[in-house]
């Protein structure tokens, strides 16, 4: 399949790198990217030729990945309407918050649109992406979009567009929650007497190892936690303190706030 990227920044580049690692050939990928330095580094690091002419980039594309900042999506797509109408490619948007209805309007009638909400670990091939497409997008188009996002990690389809706001709150913003927790743990350990550099390394390695263990298991997080929480032990003392401070309530309110904010932001770009 011939692919085009509109925007070869952080996310576009991560996806291109993932696709190349999985066997897509450089000549199957074209990129429209307005920043010269980004075009140069795509050529130097990945052997991809990028152009500042988006029309030329999408000319032969069967699937177009929209990877510009959300505020640029409308103008980028609207300027391509004639070629989209002629070629009828799939449009896969990773632009946060831009609703399907808006994308369909900017692309023109009949273009199959798939929305993706990836997260930052995609940059190291360990992302997870929430995917949504309306019911008139067929299985072949869904599978093509899925293959692109799988190049940087796992994919999870959600049944409604509203659910993508919850995905944004969970896995989109989620890496920051884990970074915050690791940062606070390292800080607390420093206050308890550990040297700062050692505390940071221990916190980061614990984050990494716990993630690997959770990923390798059947996904029952409560059981995994129970396995490191012996009765009367140190972990139990810590978890009891967290429970007393209503950590569950805090996390619940935090995800609610992020979901709400995602819906609010969508109305800025949306229709
Ligand atoms: N990075 C993440 O972790 C992440 C996670 C989830 C979703 N996303 C989504 O992915 C999209 C891209 O994010 P990013 O982090 O990759 O942003 P980015 O690094 O800024 O990349 C976007 C690139 O597109 C360029 N561009 C702007 N207008 C263009 C146009 N008209 N034609 C061609 N290229 C154009 C930008 O140039 P300028 O700098 O001049 O604008 C920039 O180089 C966003 O919509 C974001 O919501 C990103």
pLDDT per residue as tens digits for the range 114-154: 999 999 999 999 999 999 999 889 999 999 999 999 999 99
12 Cα nearest atom in ligand 1: 16
pLDDT per residue as tens digits for the range 246-258: 999 999 999 999 9
**Helix, coil or strand: residue 51:** strand
Q: Are strands 90-93 and 113-117 parallel, antiparallel or unpaired?
A: parallel
If one residue of 5, 6, 9 were mutated to test the ligand 1 pocket, choosing by the most ligand atoms within 8 A of its CB, it would be 9
Distance CA 216, CA 228 (A): 16
Comparing C-alpha atoms, which of 37, 40, 33 is closest to residue 11? Answer: 33
pLDDT per residue as tens digits for the range 220-269: 999 999 999 999 999 999 999 999 999 999 999 999 999 999 999 888 87
Domains of the chain by start residue, with CATH? 3-159 (3.40.50.720), 174-266 (1.10.3730.10)
What's the token pair of residue 62?
Answer: 């069967």
Q: Is 12 in the pocket of ligand 1 (CB under 6 A)?
A: yes
Query: pTM of the predicted model, to two decimals?
Result: 0.94
H-only helix segments in 27-120: 36-46, 54-58, 73-78, 81-87, 100-107
Comparing C-alpha atoms, which of 65, 78, 86 is closest to residue 6? Answer: 65
pLDDT band at 270 (very low <50, low <70, confident <90, very high): low
The rounded Å distance from CA 185 to ligand 1 centre is 33
pLDDT per residue as tens digits for the range 44-94: 999 998 999 999 999 999 999 999 999 999 999 999 999 999 999 999 999
Q: Is 112 in the pocket of ligand 1 (CB under 6 A)?
A: no
- The pLDDT mean for the chain works out to 96
If one residue of 66, 67, 115, 124 were mutated to test the ligand 1 pocket, choosing by the most ligand atoms within 8 A of its CB, it would be 67
């Amino acid at each position: 399949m011939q692919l085009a990227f509109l925007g070869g920044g952080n996310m576009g580049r991560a996806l291109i790198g993932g696709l190349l690692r999985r066997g897509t050939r450089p000549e199957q990928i074209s990129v429209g990217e307005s920043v010269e330095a980004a075009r140069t580094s795509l050529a130097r690091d990945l052997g991809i030729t990028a152009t500042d002419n988006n029309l030329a980039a999408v000319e032969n594309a069967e699937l177009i990945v929209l990877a510009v900042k959300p505020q640029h999506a409308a103008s980028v797509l609207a300027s391509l309407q004639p070629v989209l109408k002629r070629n009828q490619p799939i449009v896969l948007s990773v632009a946060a918050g831009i609703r399907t209805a808006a994308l369909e309007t900017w692309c023109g009638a009949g273009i199959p649109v798939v929305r993706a909400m990836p997260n930052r670990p995609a940059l190291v091939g360990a992302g997870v992406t929430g995917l949504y497409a309306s019911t008139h997008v067929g299985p072949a188009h869904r599978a093509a979009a899925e293959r692109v996002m799988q190049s940087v990690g796992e994919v999870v389809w959600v049944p409604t567009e509203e659910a993508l706001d919850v995905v944004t709150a969970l896995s989109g913003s989620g890496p920051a929650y884990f970074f915050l927790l690791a940062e606070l743990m390292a800080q607390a350990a420093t206050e308890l007497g550990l040297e700062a550099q050692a505390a940071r390394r221990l916190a980061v390695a614990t984050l990494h190892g716990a993630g690997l263990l959770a990923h390798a298991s059947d996904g029952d997080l409560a059981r995994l936690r129970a396995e490191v929480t012996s009765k009367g032990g140190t972990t139990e003392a810590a978890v009891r303190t967290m429970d007393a401070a209503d950590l569950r309530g805090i996390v619940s309110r935090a995800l609610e706030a992020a979901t709400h904010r995602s819906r609010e932001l969508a109305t800025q770009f949306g229709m």
